[in-house]
Amino acid sequence: MKPYLSIEKLTQRFPDGAGGDLTVFEDATFGVEKGEFVVILGHSGCGKSTIMNILAGLAEPTSGAVIMDGQEVKGPSLERGVVFQNYSLLPWLSTLKNVTFGVAARHPNWNRQKIEDHAVKFLAMVGLEGDVIHRKPSQLSGGMRQRVSIARAFANHPKLMLLDEPFGALDALTRGTIQDELLNIWGQMEQTVFMITHDIDEAILLADRILLMTNGPQARVAESVEITIPRPRNRTEIVEHPNYYAIRNHLVQFLGKRSKELAGQPTPAGQTNSPVSVRIDKTETPDDPEDKRPALRAVNS
Ligand SMILES: Nc1ncnc2c1ncn2[C@@H]1O[C@H](COP(=O)(O)OP(=O)(O)O)[C@@H](O)[C@H]1O
Ligand SMILES: [Mg+2]
């Protein structure tokens, strides 16, 4: 059976400006299950935003397809919510109206009060309550604006939520708080999320699964790493889980070394371009009790 979101042999080429082609990625193939939180991690320029724009329906791939819930993605839709790094709020509307605007579009048969109550509820979930919701975006801090973007996206409960480095412009403290709020709001609803980041710790905290991309051009989604740390998670306790540093080291190794070594290499013979599944779990009983190495299993998916 196909996964809920199926990315099939996706290829993107751009003109390289010298009469030739630049292949950003080729035949990328992977899936995302309903309700799953998948994070894609890779160096700048490997093609993460390009994938995101195709998933959002904002760009067309050179070849390949994106199938969501049995339907091919063609063009933007209310079924897909997008949060970018630079909060795209409507500057002439209040915070509240920025949220009700989308809710009203999605639920044309709801009355005004129901729309407003729904928006207020989602704003409260990201800590925005009281007078502040009547302010214009220009009167909010960067962190608050990004909270509005998140509330707006979740309030629409799209089939797929796309987040492209949503916290990239925020200071570390604000970023941490909003990560917690994002986990909280996600935990309260069944929401499929596909998020881009280049922050390893953010990826481990949030993800069910991390997709690792090699460097471009001709980037590949090389691995799918399962985050074997139970939820609910929080930033201070997660680092004490026995799997945390084993997973973190694996990701650091990949980004620091293997993403370069694997760059531009064709898919190994006999393999499709789907990522190799990696599961690291130190809590599993090792065959040899003296063996303290992380239990690392790589299986072809
Ligand atoms: N519209 C475009 N035309 C030409 N090249 C592009 C276009 N969009 C992206 N690229 C190139 O594709 C590559 C991947 O870009 P991008 O998806 O933004 O990377 P990331 O989000 O991983 O940093 C880069 O080399 C970038 O210059
Ligand atoms: Mg990008």
The CATH number linked to 280 is 3.40.50.300
Q: Give the domain range for residue 140.
A: 80-157
Predicted pLDDT of residue 241: 96
Q: Give 45 Cα–ligand 1 centroid separation in angstroms.
A: 6
pLDDT of 301: 42
Q: Are 200 and 138 in the same domain?
A: no
186-242 tens-digit pLDDT: 988 889 999 999 899 999 999 999 999 999 889 999 999 999 999 999 888 999 999
Closest CA to 150 of 173, 176, 127, 116: 127
pLDDT of residue 128: 96
Tokens of 135: 């302010």
51 with 199, same domain: the answer is: yes
Closest ligand 1 atom number to CA of residue 213:
22
Ligand 1 close to Cβ of residue 21 (< 6 A): no
pLDDT at 271: 66
Task: Give the 3-state secondary structure of residue 283.
Answer: coil
Q: In a 3-state reduction of DSSP, which class is residue 264?
A: coil
Is 59's C-beta closer than 6 angstroms to any atom of ligand 1?
A: no
- Residue 138 Cα to ligand 1 midpoint, Å, equals 30
User: For position 261, what pLDDT does the model report?
Assistant: 87
Q: Please check whether residues 91 and 227 belong to one and the same domain.
A: no
Together in a domain, 149 and 247: no
Q: Which of 151, 178, 152, 184 is nearest to 165 (CA)?
A: 178
218: tokens are: 């001709």
Q: How far apart are CA 279 and CA 250, in angstroms?
A: 10
Buried-exposed string 204-235: b where 16+ CB fall within 10 A, e elsewhere: bbbbbbbbbbbbbbbbbbbbbbbbbbeeebee
d(CA 280, CA 182): 25
The pLDDT > 90 percentage for the chain reads 77
Handedness of CA 126, 184, 37, 33 (dihedral sign): negative
Looking at the structure, tell me whether residues 73 and 123 fall in a common domain.
no
Phi, psi at 145, each rounded to 5°: -60, -40
Instruction: Please give the distance, rounded to the nearest whole angstrom, from the Cα atom of residue 164 to the centre of ligand 2.
Output: 7
Residue 220 near residue 51, CB atoms below 8 Å = no
Residues 282 and 146 in one domain: no
Higher pLDDT, 295 or 119: 119
Pairs from 270-273 (Cβ < 8 Å, separation ≥ 24): 271/300, 272/27, 272/29, 273/9, 273/26, 273/27, 273/28, 273/29, 273/220, 273/221
Pocket test for ligand 1, best of 41, 46, 49, 50 (most atoms within 8 A of CB): 50
- Dist. CA 62 → ligand 2 center (Å): 18
Say whether both 112 and 232 belong to one domain. no
Instruction: Verify that 238 and 282 share a domain, yes or no.
Output: yes
Indicate if 146 and 14 belong to the same structural domain.
Answer: no
Among residues 139, 157, 175, the one where a domain terminates is: 157
Same domain for 163 and 234, yes or no, is yes
Domain termination site, one of 107, 126, 157: 157
The answer to whether the CB of 48 is under 6 A from ligand 1 is: yes
Return the residue whose CA atom lies nearest to atom 6 of ligand 1.
Answer: 14
Element (H, E) at 8: strand 5-15
Report the alpha-carbon distance of residue 189 to residue 58 in Å, rounded: 26
Q: Specify the pTM.
A: 0.91
139 and 61 within one domain: no
pLDDT digits (tens, 9 = 90+) for 73-127: 999 999 999 998 876 899 999 999 999 999 999 999 999 999 999 999 999 999 9
* Beta carbon of 49 within 6 Å of any ligand 1 atom: yes
Structure tokens at 238: 């997660």
Ligand nearest to the CA of 40: 1
First CA to last CA across the chain, in angstroms? Answer: 14
Question: 128, 157, 186: which is the final residue of a domain?
Answer: 157
Q: For residue 263, is pLDDT > 90? A: no
126 and 115 part of one domain = yes
Q: Round the CA-based radius of gyration of the chain to a whole number and report it.
A: 20
Ligand 1 centroid, distance to 144 Cα (angstroms): 29
Ligand 1 atom nearest the C-alpha of 217 is 25
Q: Is 50 in the pocket of ligand 1 (CB under 6 A)?
A: yes
pLDDT (0 to 100) of residue 265: 75
Domain count, the chain: 2
Over the chain, what is the mean pLDDT?
91
